[in-house]
Amino acid sequence: FCESLHAMANAMAPTSSSASAPFLHEVLDRICIGQYLPDFKSTQKFRCFRPQTRLKYDGFCDDFGPMNFSALVQFSHLIEEELRAFPSCRVVFAVDAGRRELTNAVFLLGAYLILRREMQTDDVLAIFSWLKESSLENFRDATFSQPDFLLTLKDCWRGLECSKLQGWVSQPTLKTSAKWGMIDVDEYTHWDDPLNGDFHVVVPNKFIAFRGPKEMGAKLYTDTSGYRQFSPEYYSRIFRDLGVTTVIRLNETEYDAASFLASGIAHHDLHFDDCTAPPAHIVSRFLAIVDATEGVVAVHCKAGLGRTGTLIALYMM
The set of residues, in sequence order, having a beta carbon less than 8 Å from that of 203 and lying 6+ positions away, is 168, 312, 316
Are 275 and 147 within 8 A, CB to CB?
no
DSSP label of 117: S
89 counts as catalytic: no
- Label residue 187 left, alpha or beta by phi (over 0 means left) and psi (-120 to 50 means alpha): alpha
29: nearest Cα among 78, 89, 71: 89
The reply to whether omega before 66 is within 30° of 0 (cis) is: yes
- Label residue 191 left, alpha or beta by phi (over 0 means left) and psi (-120 to 50 means alpha): alpha
CA 188 – CA 67 distance, rounded (Å): 14
Task: State the sign of the Cα–Cα–Cα–Cα dihedral 133, 101, 152, 92.
Answer: negative
Rg of the chain in Å (alpha carbons): 22
CA 278 – CA 292 distance, rounded (Å): 20
Phi, psi angle pair for 36, to nearest 5°: 60, 45
Q: In this structure, are strands 244-249 and 266-269 parallel, antiparallel, or unpaired?
A: parallel
CA 44 – CA 285 distance, rounded (Å): 62
DSSP label of 181: T
Residue numbers annotated as active site = 301
